[in-house]
Amino acid sequence: MRQDLNIDRNWTLFLDRDGVINHKIEGNYVKCWNEFDFIEGSLKAISNLSKIFNKIIVITNQRGIGKGLFSLEDLTLIHDKMLLEVKNNFGKIDKIYFCPDVSDSSEFRKPNIGMGINAKSDFPEINFKKSIMVGDSTSDMMFGYSLGMNCFLISDSLNKSYETFSSLYEFSEFLINKLKKN
């Protein structure tokens, strides 16, 4: 991890959802709560990270809505239940931003920065230079880098282009240990 990250309570954490908080359904979408499956350790990680970061924001592409595979109401129910589980496990997520658009050219679809701009509008205290993006895809990394964030990849395989962790829990433990040393 970069030595210059002096993280304090003024920092903001941006998280992707699918592949970071919950398991992705390869070639498909999480369309209802019964298909939503927390990745082992992700609830504990969010609890740990809630003690470190001022704000935790989820940024997620949800193209399945635009394709008509599930509705806005379905997504709202998934997110309401996810937020309740996070709260019941002593974590917090301040807000969830999602893009239902199918087109990659949508200003709100990652890697484009529209959802980040909306977050900054809702929370003017966000400083992207004092923000971290954790995601599982190149588009997540491009989104974060475009806004000047520090970015970390969640992946099972080593990726020399990005600082990589196997899970959100591993990232949270690494960060906690790093902060203890400072």
Q: Could you list the active site residues?
A: 16, 18
**Sign (positive or negative) of CA dihedral 114, 95, 124, 149:** negative
Percentages (nearest 5) of helix, strand, coil residues in the chain: 35, 20, 45
Contact 21, 58 (CB under 8 A): yes
Name residues whose C-beta falls within 8 Å of residue 67's C-beta, 6 or more positions apart in sequence. Answer: 102
* Burial (Cβ within 10 Å: 0-12, 13-18, ≥19) of residue 25: middle
Q: DSSP letter for 39, please.
A: P
